């Protein structure tokens, strides 16, 4: 099969079209013919690499996958070839206490397609049966590929970890990102007031269209000052963080007594400082998460099917232009997801 992979870490130029054996599904696996795969900042991080990351080379990126069932293993009896599906990229053992409690993203063996194992930047991918979900009928494959990782991560951040309540105010950073654009919609669905940040007037307008009540251009305004003005110095109940070092200090400054900060990433760097006196005196909660449970993604998909959540598709490129797509993410020139099609 045709795929896009890399044999060494580096910039977008390390990505190349390669030929790999078409994977064969094991007894409880499903082989999916990939129709669309969305990019995330996770793809950029893995491509660059980090100390301790061990991969089978050549490595194939791609976590968010939509496609059709191509073949099933001997013990899979409830799926037929041709069925339109989405793939949950979170892999777990399925038998430990955490998995059986529905906290599979806390499994000690948890891994993510495209990060720890080969992903969907290819014509085919094999995944466990429990990672297959029906594709929302009203969506194209390209739209459906925007859903799994971004929406499940944002859902877990706001609903499970921060426990966002109706009437609360949330500050969502980088509204143009996949998780940011999903977070705006989920926060509004929960009945919260949303303040969103972005770097351009165009992105701020799109954030407003998604439901943001207030928007801040962080390149021209100090977002702490703007938050104080917008809230009459009451600040925000929840900060939705995923940028990291460049916003961390000011994000903490946006929290009142008892505020919560929830984060899923460190796009701008992971080394941050924290004054413990601020943490305990203001009774702040710092919450981290990666992805979410397989069960929660069914709820997200239901809300998408009902039209209450909408994937945000920036553009579609052929798989061969994966390097160009990575450049769009690195240069922050997209709003929502960039999607590749084999």
Query: Are 162 and 269 found together in one domain?
Result: yes
Query: Are 122 and 209 found together in one domain?
Result: no
Query: Are 130 and 185 found together in one domain?
Result: no
Query: Are 171 and 271 found together in one domain?
Result: yes
Query: Are 205 and 99 found together in one domain?
Result: no
Query: Are 7 and 122 found together in one domain?
Result: yes
The average confidence (pLDDT) of the chain is 96
For 88-145, how does the pLDDT look when each residue is reduced to its tens digit (9 = 90+)? 999 999 999 999 999 999 999 999 999 999 999 999 999 999 999 999 999 999 999 9
pLDDT on residue 267: 80
Q: Are 319 and 2 in contact (CB under 8 A)?
A: yes
Give the global pTM.
Answer: 0.95
pLDDT on residue 194: 98
Query: Are 223 and 116 found together in one domain?
Result: no
Does any domain span residue 323? Answer: yes
Does any domain span residue 305? Answer: no
| Residues 171-187, mean pLDDT to the nearest whole number | 96
Residues 245 and 241: their CA atoms lie apart, in Å, by 10
Query: Are 243 and 159 found together in one domain?
Result: yes
For 269-305, how does the pLDDT look when each residue is reduced to its tens digit (9 = 90+)? 888 899 999 999 999 999 999 999 999 999 999 999 9
Residues 18 and 3: their CA atoms lie apart, in Å, by 5
Percent of the chain with pLDDT over 70: 100
For 41-74, how does the pLDDT look when each residue is reduced to its tens digit (9 = 90+)? 999 999 999 988 999 999 999 999 999 999 999 9
Residue given tokens 């580096």 in the structure block: 10
In order, the DSSP letters of 252-270 are HHT--TT-EEEE---TT-S
pLDDT on residue 327: 94
Percent of the chain with pLDDT over 90: 93
pLDDT on residue 286: 97
266 pLDDT band, cuts 50/70/90, is: confident
- The tally of domains found in the chain comes to 2
Query: Are 113 and 45 found together in one domain?
Result: yes
In order, the DSSP letters of 155-206 are HIIIIIIS---TT-EEEES-TTSHHHHHHHHHHHHTT-EEEEEESSHHHHHH
Does any domain span residue 304? Answer: no
Does any domain span residue 306? Answer: no
Which CATH number characterizes residue 105's domain? 3.90.180.10
For 181-226, how does the pLDDT look when each residue is reduced to its tens digit (9 = 90+)? 999 999 999 999 999 999 999 999 999 999 999 999 999 999 999 9
Identify the domain containing residue 278 by its residue range. Answer: 151-288
Query: Are 17 and 140 found together in one domain?
Result: yes
Query: Are 212 and 318 found together in one domain?
Result: no
Query: Are 141 and 165 found together in one domain?
Result: no
Which CATH number characterizes residue 180's domain? 3.40.50.720
Residues 123 and 142: their CA atoms lie apart, in Å, by 15
Does any domain span residue 294? Answer: no
DSSP state of 105: G
């Amino acid at each position: 099969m045709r795929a896009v992979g890399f044999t060494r870490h580096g910039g977008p130029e390390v990505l190349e079209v390669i030929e790999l054996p078409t994977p064969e599904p094991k007894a409880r696996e499903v082989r999916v013919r990939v129709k669309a795969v969305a990019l995330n900042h996770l793809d950029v991080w893995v491509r660059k690499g980090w100390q301790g990351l061990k991969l089978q080379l050549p490595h194939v990126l791609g976590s968010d996958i939509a496609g059709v069932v191509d073949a099933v293993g001997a013990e899979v009896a409830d799926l037929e070839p041709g069925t339109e599906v989405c793939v949950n990229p979170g892999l777990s053992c399925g038998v430990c206490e955490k998995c059986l409690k529905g906290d599979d993203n806390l499994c000690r063996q948890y891994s993510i397609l495209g990060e720890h194992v080969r992903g969907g930047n290819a014509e085919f991918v094999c995944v466990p049966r429990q990672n297959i979900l029906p594709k929302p009928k009203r969506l194209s494959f390209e739209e459906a590929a925007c859903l799994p990782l971004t929406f499940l991560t944002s859902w877990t951040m706001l609903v499970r970890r921060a426990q966002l309540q109706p009437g609360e105010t949330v500050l969502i950073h980088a509204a143009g990102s996949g998780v940011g654009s999903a977070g705006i919609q989920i926060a509004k669905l929960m009945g919260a007031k949303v303040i969103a940040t972005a770097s351009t007037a165009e992105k701020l307008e799109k954030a407003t269209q998604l439901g943001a009540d207030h928007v801040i251009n962080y390149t021209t305004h100090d977002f702490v000052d703007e938050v104080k003005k917008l809230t009459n110095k009451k600040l925000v109940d929840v900060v939705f963080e995923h940028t990291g070092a460049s916003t961390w200090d000011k994000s903490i400054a946006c929290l009142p007594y008892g505020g919560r900060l929830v984060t899923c990433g460190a796009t701008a760097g992971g080394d941050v400082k924290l004054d413990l006196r601020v943490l305990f005196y203001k009774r702040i909660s710092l919450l981290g998460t990666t992805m979410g449970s397989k069960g929660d993604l069914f709820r997200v998909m239901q809300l998408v099917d009902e039209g209450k959540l909408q994937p945000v598709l920036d553009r579609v490129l052929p798989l061969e232009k994966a390097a160009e797509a990575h450049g769009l993410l690195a240069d922050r020139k997209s709003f929502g997801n960039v999607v590749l099609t084999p």
